[in-house]
A and B are shown apart, each in its own frame.
Chain A
Amino acid sequence: GENVEQHPSTLSVQEGDSAVIKCTYSDSASNYFPWYKQELGKRPQLIIDIRSNVGEKKDQRIAVTLNKTAKHFSLHITETQPEDSAVYFCAARGPPNAGGTSYGKLTFGQGTILTVHP
């Protein structure tokens, strides 16, 4: 099955700096890569995603890049703010299997605790 590795496990930056979180995946058939943000005690929320037919996607201060050949994707946050402090998870989803029973199954990375210091 799919295996997703996420690094670093913790990341500490000063306000205004950039933050980069990297993930690698094992299944070359995976075609959808979302990033979730989870604040303390809250539910994970999707912040950005990318599909395998796109190399980069940007939404204001957040961007995601995908390298299908190397099987890795990264989250970039620019001009970080204290409210960006949270746990960030990457995930990968493969295509449906022949029986259609694995459609939509996400495999998550271990998470990165991002702390932005004022």
Chain B
Amino acid sequence: DGGITQSPKYLFRKEGQNVTLSCEQNLNHDAMYWYRQDPGQGLRLIYYSQIVNDFQKGDIAEGYSVSREKKESFPLTVTSAQKNPTAFYLCASMNLAGVQEQFFGPGTRLTVL
């Protein structure tokens, strides 16, 4: 383990609040990804970024926002516009050259109270 860290491990939020999930990697990877995991639905892509200051929407971007100001950091903000935010959130990173394996962080479990 190591290389990609996510914090916090558990997060509780009241309805109507925005919350930011942290993802940091020291692997010098070019690309970073955010996935949402719900029971029985696999991993669904929220946002991804292949280069600093650039990112693209994934399949379920509504209600989420991201930034990529540094190569090693890709924070995800869950806004109040996300209607059902309770889920397990996974961050991943990958080199765009070479092996191209995606490495995952340990995840953040978000619960809306």
Residues of A within 8 A of B (CB): 1, 6, 9, 32, 34, 36, 42-46, 49, 89, 100-111
Contact = CB atoms under 8 A, between A and B. Distances in A.
Interface stretch (B12-20, B66-74, B79-87, B97-105): B97-105
Given A43-B107, A46-B102, A104-B31, 15 more contacts: A1-B59, A34-B102, A36-B104, A43-B106, A44-B43, A44-B90, A46-B101, A49-B101, A103-B96, A104-B50, A104-B94, A104-B96, A105-B45, A105-B58, A106-B45
Contacts of A111: 40, 42
Interface of B: 1, 31, 33, 35, 40-45, 48, 50, 56, 58-59, 90, 94, 96, 100-107
B56 A43 contact: no
Which of A43, A105, A107 lies at the interface centre, i.e. has the most chain B CB atoms within 10 A of its CB?
A43
Contacts of B94: 104
B57 to A, nearest CB: 10
A106 B59 CA distance: 11
A111 to B, nearest CB: 5
Contact of A43 (B50, B59, B100, B105): B105
Contacts of A42: 106
